[in-house]
């Protein structure tokens, strides 16, 4: 169980994360959704311990995230950002194995894990010697996912992982990622601004606006039992142009 208790964070005079509490059950997929600047990525960075809250705390089971245990707890998390965040001067293999080699894991263990991850994300080992600039956008995201999973973390954090991809690649990766999440059974917390993508992945949706939680629940909850007019407004604005044209015809 991951639990945020009475979090607050001020990033500028114009933005503050209001006091909020959230919990994420083990083995579930939750998606933070909302417009740009609503605070969803800030929540992810707070969970990862990359920034500290002004008040409140993050709990991993019975452990509270603190400066003295932040590094150890981060080893139990995998983190994927938009466009992957791969190191351009490192090969695919070096990017994926970076943390494991830093921790001086046995090379036989690393090789075995690399093979497992290649099979999991459907990436050819023939790409191991390539550099990120030599990969497609979809391949880079698969490599980023491999790197996040290298240490077999209990928690996977994804911040707009598919946002920079073309629609066809994005659609293919959405299907693959959902299958991977189901196969691994890990706790997944994802950030996106795309309602369709959120609905595809999540058991729990958390809609945010201006640093506050507007509503959390299933897609059915948001569609049929909106807690605020903004919920309906946000969902309506997410309808595709083709859907709107079809309604107008």
By residue count, the chain amounts to: 249
Q: How far apart are CA 72 and CA 65, in angstroms?
A: 10
Within the chain, which residues score under 50 in pLDDT? 241-242, 244-249
Q: Exposed (0-12), middle (13-18) or buried (19+): which is 109, by Cβ within 10 Å?
A: exposed
Closest CA to 99 of 81, 78, 82, 118: 78
Q: How far apart are CA 22 and CA 31, in angstroms?
A: 12
pLDDT reported for residue 125: 93
Q: Is the model's pTM score more than 0.85? A: yes
Compute CA 143 distance to the chain's CA centroid, rounded to the nearest angstrom. Answer: 15
Cβ atoms of 211 and 15 closer than 8 Å: yes
Q: How far apart are CA 74 and CA 66, in angstroms?
A: 11
pLDDT reported for residue 249: 40
Closest CA to 165 of 150, 151, 176: 176
Residue limits of CATH 3.40.50.300 in the chain:
1-76+154-214
pLDDT reported for residue 240: 55
Q: Which fold has domain 1-76+154-214?
A: Rossmann fold (3.40.50)
pLDDT reported for residue 248: 40
pLDDT reported for residue 63: 87
């Amino acid at each position: 169980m991951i639990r945020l208790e009475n979090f607050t964070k001020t990033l500028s005079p114009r933005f503050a994360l209001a006091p909020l509490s959230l919990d994420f059950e083990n083995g579930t997929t939750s998606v933070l959704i909302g417009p740009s600047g609503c605070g969803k990525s800030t929540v992810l960075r707070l969970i990862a311990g990359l920034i500290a809250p002004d008040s409140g705390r993050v709990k991993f089971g019975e452990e509270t995230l603190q400066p003295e245990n932040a590094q150890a707890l981060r080893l139990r998390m995998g983190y994927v950002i938009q466009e992957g965040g791969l190191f351009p001067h490192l090969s695919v293999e070096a990017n994926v194995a970076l943390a494991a080699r830093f921790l001086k894991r046995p090379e036989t263990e690393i090789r075995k894990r690399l093979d497992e991850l290649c099979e999991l994300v459907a990436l050819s080992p023939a790409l191991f010697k390539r550099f990120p600039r030599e990969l497609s956008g979809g391949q880079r995201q698969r490599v980023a996912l491999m790197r996040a999973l290298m240490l077999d973390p209990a928690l996977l954090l994804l911040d707009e992982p598919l946002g920079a991809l073309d629609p066809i690649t994005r659609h293919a990766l959405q299907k693959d990622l959902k299958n991977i999440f189901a196969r691994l059974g890990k706790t997944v917390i994802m950030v996106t601004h795309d309602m369709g993508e959120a609905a595809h992945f999540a058991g729990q949706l958390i809609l945010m606006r201006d640093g506050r939680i507007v509503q959390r629940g299933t897609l059915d909850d948001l569609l049929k039992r909106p807690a605020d007019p903004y919920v309906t407004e946000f969902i309506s604005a997410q309808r595709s142009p083709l859907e709107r044209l079809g309604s107008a015809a």
